[in-house]
Amino acid sequence: MEEQDQWTERDVALDRYRRHHDYMAELFSPHSVDRIDPPQSPFDLSKEETDKLKTQLTLNEAELDAINGKHRERLERVKADDAQFRESLANIQAASSPEELEARRKTLEDAGLVLAREDTVDNAQAASTRTPTVRVKKVPVPESETFPHSENLLSM
């Protein structure tokens, strides 16, 4: 069964009305189709606009090359610093006694490299296991100082 066989008389009349209405609108429209100019295509550029875009493209490519050059330089510095750090860390981890660790640390500091502070690495074992030892200083609290709500805590 075709689609046209399922149309009712009302559907056929409505379709005919719309089609005739569109024809009449074209005939009596104040804007003749012949006088309507199509809009300019965004892809149709004048010679000046094309040259301007090519110049801008050249400038952008030069800027991108400069940025990539800076990035490569920074990346090389980071890789060199990483290699130097790993070498220094291996040197410190190879220490077998606290005295040797201190001597190696002093040598690295003299070379301008600081890998660990005195208060974070306590001995050669802490440096080799990469678990820093932190010294905690206990501060006594005078008995005369009372904290707010301390009476409430004691009464519970």
Instruction: Compute the distance between CA of residue 123 and CA of residue 132 in angstroms, rounded to an integer.
Output: 9
Whether residue 123 contacts residue 98, with contact meaning beta carbons closer than 8 Å, is answered with yes
pLDDT (average), residues 132-151: 54
Distance CA 116, CA 130 (A): 11
Following DSSP, what letter does each residue of 8-44 receive, concatenated?
A: -HHHHHHHHHHHHHHHHHHHH-SS-GGGPPPPPPTT-
pLDDT of residue 37: 79
pLDDT band at 140 (very low <50, low <70, confident <90, very high): low
**Which pLDDT belongs to residue 110?**
77
Q: How confident is the model at residue 118 (pLDDT cuts 50, 70, 90)?
A: very low
**Average pLDDT of the chain?**
76
Mean pLDDT of 23-47: 78
pLDDT of residue 148: 54
Q: Do 95 and 124 touch, CB atoms closer than 8 A?
A: yes
Rounded average pLDDT over 88-101: 82
SS3 109: helix
- Give the whole-angstrom CA distance, residue 94 versus residue 107: 14
- In tens, the pLDDT along 40-94 reads 887 888 889 899 999 999 999 999 999 999 999 999 999 988 888 888 888 878 8
Percent of the residues in the chain that have a pLDDT greater than 70, as a whole number? 68
Number of H helices and E strands in the chain, helices first, is 5, 0
Confidence at residue 69, expressed as pLDDT on a 0 to 100 scale: 96
pLDDT of residue 73: 95
The per-residue pLDDT for 59 is 96
- Token pair recorded at residue 93: 């981890």
Chain center to CA of 103: 42
